[in-house]
Amino acid sequence: MGETEILAVDDPGTGLEVTRHRVPDYPIDLGPVTHLAEERTRLHGLSWEHFDARMLGSTVGAELSGIDLSRALPEPAIRDVQLALDSYKVVFFRDQDMTAEQHLGFARRFGELEVHPFFPSNEMQPELVKFTKGVDTGGYENQWHHDVTWRKRPSRSTILRAVQVPDLGGDTLFADMCAAYDGLSPDLRSEVNGLTAIHDFQRSLGRQVPPERMEEARALYPEVAHPVVCTHERTGRRHLYVNRLFVDRISGRTRAESIDILDRLCRQADYPEYQCRFQWEPGSVAFWDNRAVQHYANSDYWPDVRIMERASIVGDRPSA
């Protein structure tokens, strides 16, 4: 074997500024995500009275243990769960032996519940959306998105319970859209502040409506404009609020004129540094902030069965 001359004496990062760098010829960045450090340190220093928390991502996601959601929790425990949700943006619970009624009872402690017009529900509880996937119904939620952004008052938060999960696959990923906004380049941040986007149910859910009822559905759920960058109603943090599933265009522009900037913004969810990943087990529950995170349901389990039920809390209209 011939000899190889080692030309380098330092790590490849030596001499580079400790910041993000654009990959030549591609619209993606690499390098240390330094703006996460302060928030990561703060989150890792939190402690809670009514449960223990274990972080899953750098600034997003925590498993909460030592709490039973099937019980009628005291108000201080509910406040603690809400504060944990504000902090971690998505929280997870294991080994919860809950009925559909207990699921709804827990969700109602956080606000008015939503009824989804385009998804089937649990037969006895219209506030519970039921997702049943199997050999004849694959999962199509494997795009980054916030839920129901086509509503004037989109969901504030969501509680998803595993009814039946495959032995392998079907994880859900969550991306911190506050960190994504903070990580925008100054030029891109300046470009998007003040923009609004047009959201429309018909882009992804139009096929759920019979043609003869489309005019009725359009009257009930017209196109709606939301800020591209919103201010979170509870934490005051700025976050991105666009997604490929429901955003049609930027206000005042055609769809063709909007695609470039929408793509650049939607790509921010792709960075693993902003993400956490949750592996479902029987009895697992996820509770996420539908403004501060986007989510992505991994569709890698076909033809196995995956059944989930979701209760969503109605939010206020997003504001800049």
- Start-to-end CA span in the chain (Å): 63
Which of the residues 147, 182, 200, 289 is marked catalytic? 147
Q: In the annotation, is 167 catalytic? A: no
Sign of the four-CA dihedral 277, 165, 315, 87: negative
Active site residue 310: yes
CB atoms within 10 A of CB 161: 26
Q: Alpha-carbon distance 61 to 55, whole Å?
A: 6
Select which of 80, 103, 116, 145 is catalytic: 145
Residue of 116, 146, 295, 306 marked catalytic: 295
**Does 295 qualify as catalytic in the annotation?**
yes
Q: Does 103 qualify as catalytic in the annotation?
A: no
φ/ψ (deg, to 5) at 199 = -105, 145
Which member of 226, 249, 291, 310 is catalytic? Answer: 310
Catalytic residues: 145, 147, 295, 310
